Amino acid sequence: MGDFDSFEYAINLKNFIDNHQDKNLDVFAIAIGNQNGKEKFCNFTGFSKENLIVVSDNQIHNNLKVSRGLDIGLGGWINMLLMLSGINSLKTIKEVIRGYTGDRKAKQIYSELDNLHVLKFLKFSGNSFKQVFGDGYLRPFELATFRLNNMNEIIQNWGDYILHEKYLPQRGASFLLNEKNQIIYNFFSSDVLGYSSNMSDPLGFLSDLI
């Protein structure tokens, strides 16, 4: 639950559901965590509590053959830091850079009316991005700001979000089923900050298939 990808994905899913109320779409998520973490996660991301189940280990991930991430035998912290540096997680550096340079193919995150509080001491409005970089696309530093806010939430509530450091490198997966419970889309993440095959439009598969 306390993963950069999980927070970002959940927020994007919540916004997608809000904007597609006319679609017959059931969203169901399983995450490693506890009930306190679930409460805080859903309050922060807006993801529905009814649509999230927490488990205490990664057995279901193993059953589904989801990547455990890097494991060099020195513990979850070392494994995660190495993945964040791009080792066994080749797309991560590209994603980090995109967060600072922007992306003309992606949608903007903040409107000019949003009030942003970064690490509690830095406050500014979403209009700052428009004044400096324009609007209508993912502006430089916009995604990095969004991710920094998510990271701050995780760090402040570390004990609730992270059950054990050995699960830090654990990656996730997505499955889309039709009304006959047939899998019509799946994606297995192998990189940190890589929960979709197209990070410029991470929920594009939903738009295309529903």
Please spell the DSSP secondary structure of 27-59, one letter per residue. Answer: --EEEE--HHHHHHHHHHH---GGGEEEESSSH
The two three-digit tokens of residue 69, written as one number: 């991430």
Region 91-105 average pLDDT: 96
pLDDT of 23 reads 85
Question: String of b and e for 44-55 (b: at least 16 CB within 10 Å)?
Answer: bbebeeeebebe
**Lowest-pLDDT range of 4-13, 25-34, 121-130:** 121-130
| pLDDT given for residue 198 in this prediction | 96
Dihedral (CA of 206, 204, 60, 18) sign: negative
Sequence spans of domains, the chain: 4-209
pLDDT at 121: 66
Mean pLDDT, the chain, whole residue set: 93
Which run of H or of E encompasses 194? none
pLDDT of residue 120: 66
pTM: 0.92
SS3 105: coil
Tens of pLDDT, residue by residue over 70-85, are: 999 999 999 999 999 9
pLDDT at 123 over 80: no
Record the tokens describing residue 204, joined without a space. 């594009």
Calpha distance 2→157 (Å, rounded): 9
Element (H, E) at 118: strand 115-118
pLDDT greater than 80 at residue 119? no
